[in-house]
């Protein structure tokens, strides 16, 4: 579905992603793990069209999107849920969600998606009239994720959904991601909770200083020395 081929991404001319390739097949949950500054977020931003690769190609459903604008990429069916839960603070929960369905023209589909998000995160339904900025961190993350689902994306990219949440909420959040996977959604997940991210992933990539150093199925990666030593402290 998504095929990233040997891309190089630069910030003001300085390359930060070197020669990275990965792909996501339909219905898969693919995790990208790595330490701080290894280029995970940059990678997602490049796929989302905020940044553009200097070399290499990005294909989505056999169509080159490496030079497309964010707006067009969203229309093609890729939704990016940014890290640190960037929601619209001055708008209510429901308004936030409805804006997520911005590219959907069908009222029924919007209602359907809204019900779906509320069933996935019941707390949002209870808070639907509240302003986004008054929600707790965990609720904001749920809202950001729910907003990403509102446009019925073909590929959902989640950037560290567990960042800055308390342990109980981390579990809840990751469970929600697992539920989404079971329902057949295609997800590209970036996480620092390496064990959890790899356990539930179909496949994973380990990134270090802008290079893919390992790839394989989730279990395979959990067995490698580097993952054990560097991330799991075994």
Partner 1 sequence: MQIRTLKDALSFGDLPAVERIGFILFITFCFIFPWIIKGGFAQAVMIQFLIFCLYGLGWNLIGGYGGQVALGQAKNVGMSAYTVALLMVRWNIPFWVCTPLGVIVATIESFVLGYFLFRLRGHYFAIATIAVSLVWQQLFINWNFIGGARGIELPLRETPNFIYMQFDSPVYYHYFAFVLVMIAILYMNWFRKSRLGYQLRAITANEDVAESLGINAHWVKVKAYCITGIFAGMGGAFYTVYYSYIDPFSVMHLELSIMIALMTMIGGAGSMWGPIIGAMILIPLDRYLGAWLGGRGILGVDFMIYALMVMIISAYEPRGIWGIIEKARRKR
Cβ pair 204, 189 in contact under 8 A:
no
Q: Which residue, 91 or 163, is less far from partner 1 as judged by CB?
A: 91
Q: For partner 1, which residue of 34, 39, 82, 218 counts as binding (CB under 8 A)?
A: 82
89 binds partner 1 (CB under 8 A): yes
As a whole number of angstroms, the distance between CA 214 and CA 212 comes to 6
67 binds partner 1 (CB under 8 A): no
> Helix (H, G, I), strand (E, B), or coil: what is residue 53?
coil
Q: Which residue, 43 or 48, is less far from partner 1 as judged by CB?
A: 48
* Cβ at position 90, least distance to partner 1 in Å: 6
Cβ pair 113, 183 in contact under 8 A:
no
Piece of the chain touching partner 1 by CB under 8 A; list 9-17, 91-99, 117-125, 135-143: 91-99
What strands, in cross-sheet order, belong to the sheet with 186-191? 78-81, 155-159, 186-191, 29-34, 203-208, 211-217
151 binds partner 1 (CB under 8 A): yes
- The secondary element (H helix, E strand) that includes residue 215 is strand 211-217
- The Cβ of residue 61 has, within 10 Å, a number of other Cβ atoms equal to 14
74 binds partner 1 (CB under 8 A): yes
* Cβ at position 108, least distance to partner 1 in Å: 16
Q: For partner 1, which residue of 86, 119, 126, 179 counts as binding (CB under 8 A)?
A: 86
As a whole number of angstroms, the distance between CA 200 and CA 70 comes to 29
Cβ pair 227, 32 in contact under 8 A:
no
Cβ pair 20, 66 in contact under 8 A:
no
Piece of the chain touching partner 1 by CB under 8 A; list 15-23, 68-76, 106-114, 117-125: 68-76
Piece of the chain touching partner 1 by CB under 8 A; list 11-19, 94-102, 116-124, 214-222: 94-102
102 binds partner 1 (CB under 8 A): yes
Phi, psi of 74 (to 5 degrees): -60, -40
Tell me which residues touch partner 1 (CB under 8 A). 48, 50, 70-71, 74-75, 79-80, 82, 86-91, 95, 98-100, 102-103, 147, 151
């Amino acid at each position: 579905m998504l095929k990233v081929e040997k891309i190089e991404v630069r910030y003001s001319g300085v390359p930060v992603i070197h020669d990275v390739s990965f792909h996501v097949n339909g219905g898969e949950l693919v995790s990208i793990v790595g330490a701080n500054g290894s280029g995970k977020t940059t990678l997602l931003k490049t796929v989302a069209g905020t940044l553009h690769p200097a070399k290499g190609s990005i294909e989505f459903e056999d169509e080159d999107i490496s030079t497309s604008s964010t707006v067009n990429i969203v229309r093609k069916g890729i939704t990016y849920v940014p890290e640190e839960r960037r929601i619209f603070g001055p708008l209510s929960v429901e308004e936030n969600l409805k804006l997520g369905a911005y590219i959907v023209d069908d009222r029924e589909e919007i209602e359907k998606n809204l019900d779906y998000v509320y069933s996935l995160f019941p707390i949002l339904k209870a808070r639907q009239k509240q302003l986004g900025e008054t929600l707790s961190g965990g609720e904001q993350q749920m809202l950001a994720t729910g907003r990403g689902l509102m446009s019925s994306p073909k590929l959902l990219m989640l950037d560290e959904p567990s960042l800055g949440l308390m342990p109980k909420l981390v579990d809840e959040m990751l469970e929600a991601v697992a539920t989404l996977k079971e329902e057949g959604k295609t997800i590209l997940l970036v996480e620092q909770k390496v064990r959890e991210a790899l356990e539930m992933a179909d496949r994973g990539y380990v990134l270090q200083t802008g290079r893919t150093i390992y790839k394989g199925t989730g279990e395979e990666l959990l067995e490698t020395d580097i993952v054990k030593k560097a991330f799991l402290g075994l």
